[in-house]
Amino acid sequence: MTDRPGAGWALDYDRLISSRARGIDASGIRRVFDLAGQLEDPVNLSIGQPDFPVPEPIRRAASEAIADGLNGYTVTQGIAELRQRITGRLAGELPHWQPASGEGVADGYQTLITSGVSGGLVLAIMACAGPGDEVILPDPGFVMYRHLVTLAGATPVPVDTYPDFALTADRIEPHLTERTKLVLFNSPSNPTGVVATADQCRDLAELCARHGVLLVSDEIYDAFCFKGSGDLAFTSPAAYSEQVLILRGFSKSYAMTGWRLGYAAGPAPVVSEMTKLQQYTFVCAPSMVQVAGVTALETDISGRIREYQARRDRVVDALGNLYELTRPGGAFYAFPRVPERLGMTATAFVEKAVTEHGLLIIPGNVFSDRDTHFRLSYACADDMLDRGLSILQQMARA
């Protein structure tokens, strides 16, 4: 016998774990990183975060905020100065946000400072979707979308966007039902880097408005739109409809991935419910990071974007003749197809890359129902990118 509480009793963990948790599968990414754990000096083209440091003015603003004692909770919706800067920027960008008086922001819209765009996605889906509802999302698409819909108890409805990876109104419309609540849209896209055209954004916004469906536009990579020959300027679907929820953030643009700062902006009834849910989940975004966010909005990162555009060009030049590759127009990813003549799935190709060449890339079935492509990130040092591209050229020619 022992006096230790619970001694002699065992929890039935199979009974304990919820169906929500069981409905989420992390095996695809976990497999890659399990393999990577065996490597001493991997060539890492798998990381989805910028490789440049947080700009010094932003770091200084956060440090000063900490030193000034701004370390407690803020109001749930975020500090007033940051929200005012964001809404002012949106009013200058989007026609529906501009009031008739020309001052302030039009009625009917709200902003909420979130714990990253991921936090905004959690709140938006939980606020609008539940059991019996359907949420349309792109295939391939950001790995979190499908699992967050499952977490909410709703049904994910993937829309096949191969081979050009465009989530268009024509592709979505056959999937709309009376149970559809949301369409999740992402441009520039993770994992493909594809940027939607203005016409595609307009048609999609009009389709969702016509069917009474909320369009959730994940614009985390809005600053990472390149300006080379043939590249598209960033367009938000919110430019064409009042019924769009925008999710933007600071993680990618300013290399603040660990700082967890983003925002939601859109119809007041939706943002109000998201704010209520944030009160009982995240509470608020980190206080000192919100202060730094004000400085971030005034920080020029155009030089960094040009660096990433040059890397994109190197990826396309190195792989374009060896792989089927849709040219990325933004973000910092490429999504090549494994050459069919190699006779292997993307999962097998990635395992070969990791185990035989020490190259870390992500198999496409992490993002998709298909296992034909793989994602590489060029958010890495130039010498590592060159090593990775050389390996991929060698594998394609094998």
292-334 pLDDT tens trace: 999 999 999 999 999 999 999 999 999 999 999 999 999 999 9
- Give residue for tokens 């660990």: 258
Helix (H) or strand (E) holding 89: helix 80-93
Higher pLDDT, 109 or 217: 217
Other C-beta atoms lying within 10 Å of the C-beta of residue 29: 15
Cα distances (Å, whole numbers) of residue 378 to 15, 16, 47, 200, 270: 43, 41, 8, 27, 36
How much is the pLDDT for 11?
Answer: 86
- Cα distance between residue 260 and residue 250, in whole Å: 8
CA 222/CA 288 separation, integer angstroms: 24
Block residue for tokens 């095996």 = 27
> What percentage of residues in the chain have a pLDDT greater than 90?
82
Per-residue pLDDT tens over the stretch 245-284: 999 999 999 999 999 999 999 999 999 999 999 999 999 9
Tokens describing residue 213: 């469906």
pLDDT band at 146 (very low <50, low <70, confident <90, very high): very high
- Whether CATH 3.40.640.10 fits 72-296: yes
Is a pLDDT exceeding 70 seen at residue 3?
no
According to DSSP, the β-strands at 43-44 and 359-360 are: parallel
What pLDDT is stored for residue 105 in this prediction? 59
Peptide bond into 95 cis (omega under 30): no
- pLDDT higher than 70, residue 343: yes
pLDDT tens for 280-290 read: 999 999 999 99
Q: CB–CB of 237/202 below 8 Å?
A: yes
Give the single-character DSSP code of 324: B
Q: Residue 13's pLDDT band (boundaries 50, 70, 90)?
A: confident
Among 134, 138, 114, which Cα is nearest to 125's?
Answer: 134
| CATH class of segment(s) 17-46+301-397 | alpha beta
Strand segments (E) across 187-305:
214-218, 244-249, 262-267
Q: Which of 96-110, 163-177, 207-221, 285-299 has the lowest mean pLDDT?
A: 96-110
Q: What is the pLDDT of residues 226-244, one digit of tens each?
A: 998 889 999 999 999 989 9
% of the chain surpassing 70 pLDDT = 95
pLDDT at position 398 is 83
Summarised one tens digit per residue, pLDDT across range 133-144 is 999 999 999 999
Q: Is residue 131 packed enough to be buried (19+ CB in 10 Å), middle (13-18) or exposed (0-12)?
A: exposed
Q: Does the pLDDT of residue 14 top 90, yes or no?
A: no
Residue 19: its pLDDT value, please? 84
Residue with tokens 């993002």: 367
* CATH 3.40.640.10 location in the chain: 72-296
Q: Which band of pLDDT confidence, cut at 50, 70 and 90, is reported for residue 106?
A: low
For CATH 3.90.1150.10, the residue range(s) in the chain are 17-46+301-397
